Amino acid sequence: MNQPKITEEIISANAKQTDGQGQVIEIIHSDVKPSHLNALRVRGGNRLKGDIKISGAKNAALKHMCAALLTDQPVQFTNMPVTLGDVRTMAELLDYLGMTVALRSDGVAMLHAKEIKTTIAPYDLVRKMRASVLVLGPLLARCGQADISMPGGCAIGTRPIDLHLMGFKAMGAEIELDGGYVKARAPKGLKGAHITFPFVSVGATENVMMAATLAEGITVLSNAAREPEIVDQGNALIAMGAKIEGLGTSEIRIEGVSSLNGATHACIPDRIETGTYMCAVGLAGGEVRLKNTRTDFLASLIGPLIGAGMEIKQDGNDVFVHRNGSHLKGIDIMTEPYPGFATDLQAQFMAMMTMCKGAGMITETVFENRFMHVPELCRMGADITVQGNSAIIRGVEKLKGAEVMATDLRASVALVLAGLVAEGETVVNRIYHLDRGYENIVEKLTGVGADIERVSER
């Protein structure tokens, strides 16, 4: 079988044509127009059977791209979800800052920040994606300054960055808020510090850890986040020459070095995508092989799923997921920082609980407003009552297809999952939220027998 042609998308207008390592590459510039097919139509009732290849982790990939700002050497990441909206948004921001970004259709991202053209990240780019704030630490560490537009809140909460700024101040940076921008200055460089976060923050841990790799002396982060994506980010930084210990624990120790080198690093599989498709099987029934992923980073989900009646096991590099005929038993969960139940899987788990035998309770402790999928699920016939940051889900016999509205990334996919099992047709509008975080979701679900297609919004 002849090798599929590898296409490469040069995000950077100023990029030199990168070497496709001897393979034929076709350069298509990033003038991708937003698709007018901004809705999904799902017809429920099909059991799922077949293989789904899991993509690289969005919430690791975005940080890997920021880390490439820390060095003037080229850095290469493989297994990257290069078609995701958020990855393209990050690529555009990094290109604006002066980095050459090449995204290849085989999942290779080649990043080279030989020079930083500007240390200002403007509102019109930052407002599209909150993770843009993660260029602050690398720019401050490499250039001694950064002006970053404050990331807006989003549908799931206000999401301030006070912990990020607390960390940089502790390392000697001067921080000023002016005209909607965070203006950070460290003209004499950053100094190592012992920083204790009052509560766990993934982004603050990542931003400060990146900055600390080039600070003078030792930085200790206490009450640090322990997510697998942070471990992956730390391993990539170590490959670039950083000195980091304690990854995956709540105390991370970074010894600053004078500079970092280029490296090649494989992005970990996406554990939230993995968990999402596990919930899909839990809801629609069937048996699916999730390819190129793991179970060890999803214990907090897999325990409840097996307790509710599913079969889940690692098989080489794949995970086998099976739900026999009967619907799942109701079960209670509470979202917490890793290794607790992931808040990014809360909406999907709730969708699955709508058809459970009995009832389940879900408590959201990480974000203050992450139940926006509830009214939409209720419009499909679910029986859900919200009390503060808890929701009681009483299982119903069936869901009925309806026209529903996506509000954020994970709420969107929860509605798609509900559509897989609802009677009749469900149309999920505003699926640009989905395209930010799920690669080829229509193709992946169609490939295991779901009746789903993109349509234009009514």
Which positions lie near ligand EPZ, rule CB under 6 A?
59, 62, 130-131, 157, 159-164, 201-204, 343-344, 366-367, 409-410, 437
Other beta carbons less than 10 A from residue 455's beta carbon: 14
- AA letter at 280: A
Largest pairwise CA distance in the chain: 65
The least distance separating ligand EPZ from the CB of residue 108, rounded to whole angstroms, comes to 21
Contact 430, 456 (CB under 8 A): no
Q: Which is nearer to ligand EPZ, 18 or 55 (CB)?
A: 55
Q: Which is nearer to ligand EPZ, 160 or 307 (CB)?
A: 160
Q: Which is nearer to ligand EPZ, 120 or 166 (CB)?
A: 166
The least distance separating ligand EPZ from the CB of residue 85, rounded to whole angstroms, comes to 12
Q: Which of 159, 103, 165, 107 is nearest to 129 (CA)?
A: 159
435: phi > 0 → left, psi -120 to 50 → alpha, else beta; which? alpha
The least distance separating ligand EPZ from the CB of residue 337, rounded to whole angstroms, comes to 7
The least distance separating ligand EPZ from the CB of residue 379, rounded to whole angstroms, comes to 22
Q: Which is nearer to ligand EPZ, 8 or 86 (CB)?
A: 86
Q: Which of 154, 279, 356, 378 is catalytic?
A: 154
SS3 18: coil
The least distance separating ligand EPZ from the CB of residue 334, rounded to whole angstroms, comes to 14
- AA letter at 352: M
Residue with tokens 């890997």: 64
- Beta carbons within 8 Å of 224's beta carbon, 6+ residues apart: 197, 200, 205, 209, 230, 246, 249, 250, 251, 252
Round the CA-based radius of gyration of the chain to a whole number and report it: 22
Q: Which is nearer to ligand EPZ, 248 or 447 (CB)?
A: 248
Please state, in angstroms and as integers, the Cα–Cα distance from residue 197 to each residue in 150, 205, 223, 298, following that order: 20, 9, 5, 25
> How far is C-alpha 449 from the geometric centre of its chain's CA atoms?
26
The least distance separating ligand EPZ from the CB of residue 77, rounded to whole angstroms, comes to 16
Surface-to-core class of residue 13, CB atoms within 10 Å of its CB (0-12 exposed, 13-18 middle, 19+ buried)? exposed
Q: Which is nearer to ligand EPZ, 6 or 150 (CB)?
A: 150
Q: Which is nearer to ligand EPZ, 130 or 294 (CB)?
A: 130
Residues 17-28: b if buried by 16+ CB within 10 A, e if exposed? ebebeeeebeee
Residues 351-383: b if buried by 16+ CB within 10 A, e if exposed? bbbbbbeebbbbbbbbbeebbbbbebbebbbbe
**Rounded Cα gap, residues 326 and 357, in angstroms:** 9
- Catalytic (active site) residue 154: yes
**Rounded Cα gap, residues 95 and 298, in angstroms:** 34
The least distance separating ligand EPZ from the CB of residue 302, rounded to whole angstroms, comes to 18
SS3 392: strand
The least distance separating ligand EPZ from the CB of residue 131, rounded to whole angstroms, comes to 4
The residue with its CB nearest to ligand EPZ is: 203
DSSP 56-98: BPHHHHHHHHHHGGG-SSEEEEES--TT-HHHHHHHHHHHHHT
Q: Which is nearer to ligand EPZ, 162 or 176 (CB)?
A: 162
Q: Which residues are catalytic?
A: 154
